[in-house]
Structure 1
Amino acid sequence: MSATPRRAVVAATIGNALEWFDLIIYAFFATAIAKTFFPNPDATLSLLIALGTFGVSFFVRPLGGIVLGAYADRAGRKAALMVGMVMMMVGTTLMALTPSAAQIGIAAPILIVLARLLQGFSAGGEFASATVFLAEQSAERRAFYSSWQFATQGLAMVLGSVSGLLITNLLPPPDVAAWGWRIPFLFGMLIGPVALYIRRNVPETAEFEAAPTLKNPLIETARHQKRSIAIAIGLVILCTVSIYMMLYLPTYSETALGLEPGAGFLGTLAGSTALFVLTPLFGHIADRIGRIPVALTAAVALVVVPVPLFAALIATPSATLLIATQAMIGLLVAAYLGALGALMTDLFPTASRSTGISLSYNISVLAFGGMAPLVITSLIARTGWLGIPSYYLAMAAVVSLIAILVAHRRGLR
Structure 2
Amino acid sequence: MNSNASVSEPDDFTTQAAPAIQKKVPRKAVVGTVVGNWLEFFDFVVYSIFAVTIGKEFFPADDPNIQILLSLATFGVGFLARPLGSVMIGAYADRAGRKAALTMTISFMAVGTAVMALTPSYAQIGLAAPVLLVGARLLQGFSAGGEMGAATSFLIESAPHGKRGLMGSWQLASQGLAIATGAAIGAVLTVSLSPEAMQSWGWRVPFVLGMLIAPVGMYIRRHMDETIEVGEHVSMGGVLASLFRGHGKLMIFSMLTVSGATITTYVLNTYMVTYAIQSLQMPMATAVLAALIAGVVTFFGSLLGGALSDRFGRRALVIWPRLLLLALIYPALAYVVEQKTLTALLLVVGTLSTLQAISAAPGLVLLPECFPRKVRAAALSISYAAATTVFGSTAAVFSSWLVTATGNPLSLAWFLIIANLVGLIALLPMKPPRAHEALD
Per the normalisation by structure 2, the TM-score is 0.90
Which is worse superposed, 121-130 or 309-318?
309-318
Q: 2:291 aligns with which of 257, 268, 284?
A: 268
What is residue 96 of structure 1 aligned with on the other side? 117
For residues 420 and 108 of structure 2, the distance between their equivalents in structure 1, rounded to whole angstroms, comes to: 33
- How far the C-alpha of 1:292 sits from its partner, in A, is 0.5
For residues 265 and 160 of structure 1, the distance between their equivalents in structure 2, rounded to whole angstroms, comes to: 9
Q: 2:394 aligns with which of 371, 382, 387?
A: 371
Q: Do the aligned partners of residues 351 and 243 (structure 1) sit closer, same or farther apart at CA in structure 2, a change above 3 Å counting?
A: same
For residues 81 and 221 of structure 1, the distance between their equivalents in structure 2, rounded to whole angstroms, comes to: 20
1:69 lines up with 2:69 in the alignment: no
Contact in 1 for aligned 2:112/2:139 (Cα 8 Å): yes
What is residue 14 of structure 2 aligned with on the other side? none
- How far the C-alpha of 1:232 sits from its partner, in A, is 1.0
1:14 lines up with 2:35 in the alignment: yes
- How far the C-alpha of 1:100 sits from its partner, in A, is 0.2
Task: Report matched runs for 1:141-180 at 5 Å.
Answer: 141-180=163-202
SS in structure 2 of the partner of residue 284 of structure 1: helix
Contact in 2 for aligned 1:254/1:260 (Cα 8 Å): yes
- How far the C-alpha of 1:279 sits from its partner, in A, is 1.0
Cα RMSD, aligned residues only: 1.7
SS in structure 2 of the partner of residue 280 of structure 1: helix
What is residue 320 of structure 2 aligned with on the other side? 297
For residues 251 and 241 of structure 2, the distance between their equivalents in structure 1, rounded to whole angstroms, comes to: 13
1:398 lines up with 2:418 in the alignment: no
For residues 345 and 160 of structure 1, the distance between their equivalents in structure 2, rounded to whole angstroms, comes to: 28
Count the aligned residue pairs.
410
For residues 421 and 110 of structure 2, the distance between their equivalents in structure 1, rounded to whole angstroms, comes to: 37
Which is worse superposed, 223-232 or 74-83?
223-232
- How far the C-alpha of 1:298 sits from its partner, in A, is 1.7
SS in structure 2 of the partner of residue 203 of structure 1: coil
For residues 345 and 211 of structure 1, the distance between their equivalents in structure 2, rounded to whole angstroms, comes to: 20
For residues 384 and 174 of structure 1, the distance between their equivalents in structure 2, rounded to whole angstroms, comes to: 32
1:206-247 CA-to-partner distances (Å, cap 9, x unmatched) read: xx2288974321111111111111121122112211221121
What is residue 59 of structure 1 aligned with on the other side? 80
Q: 1:335 aligns with which of 355, 358, 374?
A: 358
The unaligned stretches of length 5 or more in structure 1 are none
SS in structure 1 of the partner of residue 62 of structure 2: coil
1:114 lines up with 2:127 in the alignment: no
For residues 268 and 388 of structure 1, the distance between their equivalents in structure 2, rounded to whole angstroms, comes to: 21
Q: 1:229 aligns with which of 251, 254, 266?
A: 251
1:317 lines up with 2:340 in the alignment: yes
What is residue 80 of structure 1 aligned with on the other side? 101
What is residue 279 of structure 1 aligned with on the other side? 302
Which is worse superposed, 261-270 or 249-258?
261-270
For residues 259 and 12 of structure 1, the distance between their equivalents in structure 2, rounded to whole angstroms, comes to: 36
For residues 365 and 78 of structure 1, the distance between their equivalents in structure 2, rounded to whole angstroms, comes to: 24
For residues 310 and 278 of structure 1, the distance between their equivalents in structure 2, rounded to whole angstroms, comes to: 21
Q: Do the aligned partners of residues 322 and 399 (structure 1) sit closer, same or farther apart at CA in structure 2, a change above 3 Å counting?
A: same
SS in structure 2 of the partner of residue 371 of structure 1: helix
What is residue 50 of structure 1 aligned with on the other side? 71
- How far the C-alpha of 1:9 sits from its partner, in A, is 0.8
Q: Do the aligned partners of residues 87 and 259 (structure 1) sit closer, same or farther apart at CA in structure 2, a change above 3 Å counting?
A: same
1:113-142 CA-to-partner distances (Å, cap 9, x unmatched) read: 000000000000011110110011125211
1:385 lines up with 2:408 in the alignment: yes
Q: Which has the higher helix share?
A: 1
For residues 364 and 232 of structure 2, the distance between their equivalents in structure 1, rounded to whole angstroms, comes to: 22
Contact in 2 for aligned 1:274/1:330 (Cα 8 Å): yes
Which is worse superposed, 215-224 or 74-83?
215-224
Q: Do the aligned partners of residues 106 and 2 (structure 1) sit closer, same or farther apart at CA in structure 2, a change above 3 Å counting?
A: farther
For residues 333 and 211 of structure 1, the distance between their equivalents in structure 2, rounded to whole angstroms, comes to: 38
SS in structure 1 of the partner of residue 225 of structure 2: coil
1:297-350 CA-to-partner distances (Å, cap 9, x unmatched) read: 022122211111111111121111110011001210111123112211111110
What is the one-letter code of the residue matched to 1:48?
A: L
Q: 1:189 aligns with which of 200, 208, 211?
A: 211
Per the normalisation by structure 1, the TM-score is 0.96
SS in structure 1 of the partner of residue 409 of structure 2: coil
Q: 1:346 aligns with which of 366, 369, 386?
A: 369
Contact in 1 for aligned 2:97/2:230 (Cα 8 Å): no
Q: Could you say which structure has the greater relative contact order, defined with CA pairs below 8 angstroms and 6 or more residues apart? A: 2
What is residue 244 of structure 1 aligned with on the other side? 266
- How far the C-alpha of 1:262 sits from its partner, in A, is 1.7
Q: Do the aligned partners of residues 210 and 192 (structure 1) sit closer, same or farther apart at CA in structure 2, a change above 3 Å counting?
A: closer
- How far the C-alpha of 1:74 sits from its partner, in A, is 0.3
- How far the C-alpha of 1:88 sits from its partner, in A, is 0.4
For residues 276 and 200 of structure 2, the distance between their equivalents in structure 1, rounded to whole angstroms, comes to: 22
What is residue 229 of structure 2 aligned with on the other side? 209
- How far the C-alpha of 1:389 sits from its partner, in A, is 2.3
For residues 411 and 156 of structure 1, the distance between their equivalents in structure 2, rounded to whole angstroms, comes to: 30
Contact in 2 for aligned 1:9/1:134 (Cα 8 Å): yes
SS in structure 1 of the partner of residue 107 of structure 2: helix
SS in structure 1 of the partner of residue 120 of structure 2: coil
For residues 3 and 141 of structure 1, the distance between their equivalents in structure 2, rounded to whole angstroms, comes to: 11
For residues 214 and 354 of structure 2, the distance between their equivalents in structure 1, rounded to whole angstroms, comes to: 30
What is the one-letter code of the residue matched to 2:286?
A: A
